[in-house]
Structure 1
């Protein structure tokens, strides 16, 4: 019986099949020489022929170096290699319900990455139903497999979820040495190798979700030293932008129209307490009788910006 190649995870050297190809015949005939009847003699034994059994083995690894960050959809990459000594097909089943997950992703499909670019290209890559068998692999043949996923809207920012890709030999799996009589190449037997003919590497998703909360408030100063909204009163508007989650908000811009029945007070636009000019010039703000606009740009999660401006009630 042949020994299967060892398995390793991560980015270890590719596993390879070991030994003679399944179905090969191993034959030999013994000879003896002797002297008898005053002459040298040679005699041959019968020929013993053995057919090499097929060893069922697989190596499957995640091709991700760490968690894959995503917001709504994601692709996890795996490699499945036939390390047996004969051709074999493997069923591929993506299981997102791994014990200990903070949330479970939703499997939307599997695909064979035909061009090896790590991206699902419809019409180029071969789509597979989850749990279906991939095309048979020759000994040492490999497949790049993509697992397509969506992330539930309720998954919290920063949460992680493991997804296992279970690759199982179609002929059978089990404890090493399990025999499948007559199921090997050329009508020989098939024997489960050291990998159990079933591997389930895990890739990891991390939710990269960025949210912007915008809170607006107003304070009033009236002409009589009070806080009533009467004609002539000054309203100071305060707009606070809070970014939460795990990523950043790009191109963040805040705008606010001047409400009817009021007049913008020139020179009152501020960002984080620093004045901005009303003109559309080199700073990030501008203001006019119609409204204000402040172009904040990229703001990382955990950051906050505050915009202030004033209007007078007509």
Structure 2
């Protein structure tokens, strides 16, 4: 068992008078989490000895040993996102959520930075802002505080935590399934370094500040997952005529089939298929169908319409992995 020093900057000895000077030294373990004893507290101890000189029992006390508790610098950062956060190409204001906790035993301010280009992912999110939560755990532009490094670094009591939101833009060049990783780093403003590094006199209450097991600069990562969709169109034509052949002769009917396929893990909205009636043909009235169901030519409650030059079918929102089939007919003039 090592004997804790009683002199020097770390532990200050404040002697008191007694008849016999006996030194009682206590070994104080360094803990990775807030130990409960506040930095700047004084731990006092006095030893006693009893003996018999033949004239009766006698007790004497040692001098008192006072130890000033140093500040332990420790912090953890944890991603609060339950899973990969979905995003889409070109999306702005995408939010990752983190918690920052002071695991030290004194009040400490923490500087916040982000890392978005560490590798191991498919793209680098563009970090735009960091916000400090107002206490409800939900991001809100109007009530949460925009973080400015050095101006409003969060100051936390021992064991106190704060929720931090990192906002990013997703590049428009990403594709479905791409992942972008962002790390949040919180570093003690007093100092960071190898565990055990001491900053003399910088601790709360006048003691030293000692770097704990986290290096006083915690870090954790959150991940964006691109959920995108692409649309492909395949068009085909079948000819029928009164000769019962497949020849495109005057008077033959052309049945056009257009298949829209949506691929990817996302969805598309406002999908619509439009096709101009080819020259030298005439539209066959009431021939528009969606998935085999007839649609009217008028611009009414159903999805299709014909305006005299083209057909249009509104498909709305379609998720990846689904198809939509539209057919219509024209007659060769």
Q: Distance in 2 between matches of 1:117 and 1:37?
A: 72
Structure 1 residue 48 and structure 2 residue 75: aligned?
no
Partner of 2:110: 90
1:269 Cα deviation (Å)?
A: 1.5
Q: Distance in 1 between matches of 2:263 and 2:37?
A: 59
Task: Judge which range, 293-302 or 80-89, deviates more.
Answer: 293-302
Partner of 2:119: 99
Unpaired segments of 5 or more residues in structure 1? 6-15
The answer (yes or no) to whether the contact 1:166–1:200 under 8 Å persists in 2 is yes
Q: Distance in 1 between matches of 2:127 and 2:29?
A: 37
Q: Distance in 1 between matches of 2:149 and 2:241?
A: 68
1:188 Cα deviation (Å)?
A: 0.7
- With normalisation by structure 1, the TM-score equals 0.81
The answer (yes or no) to whether the contact 2:248–2:332 under 8 Å persists in 1 is no
1:37 Cα deviation (Å)?
A: 8.8
Alignment partner of 1:4 out of 31, 37, 40: 31
- Per-residue CA deviation, residues 152-193 of structure 1 (Å, 9 max, x unaligned), is 011111111211111111111222211111111122111111
Secondary structure, aligned partner of 1:18: coil
Secondary structure, aligned partner of 2:194: coil
1:86 Cα deviation (Å)?
A: 0.5
1:94 Cα deviation (Å)?
A: 1.2
Partner of 1:12: none
Alignment partner of 1:278 out of 282, 296, 300: 296
Distance 1:298 1:254, change over 3 A: same
Secondary structure, aligned partner of 2:205: helix
Over alpha carbons, which structure has the higher Rg? Answer: 2
Q: Distance in 2 between matches of 1:234 and 1:131?
A: 75
Q: Distance in 1 between matches of 2:29 and 2:82?
A: 33
Q: Distance in 2 between matches of 1:22 and 1:265?
A: 87
1:298 Cα deviation (Å)?
A: 3.6
User: How many positions carry a matched residue from both structures?
Assistant: 300
Q: Distance in 2 between matches of 1:61 and 1:126?
A: 20
Unpaired segments of 5 or more residues in structure 2? 1-27
Task: Judge which range, 171-180 or 300-309, deviates more.
Answer: 300-309
Q: Distance in 2 between matches of 1:32 and 1:123?
A: 67
Structure 1 residue 191 and structure 2 residue 243: aligned?
no
- With normalisation by structure 2, the TM-score equals 0.77
Q: Distance in 1 between matches of 2:152 and 2:133?
A: 15
- Per-residue CA deviation, residues 77-134 of structure 1 (Å, 9 max, x unaligned), is 1101000010111111111112211111010110111143432x22311111468762
Secondary structure, aligned partner of 1:200: strand
Partner of 1:123: 142
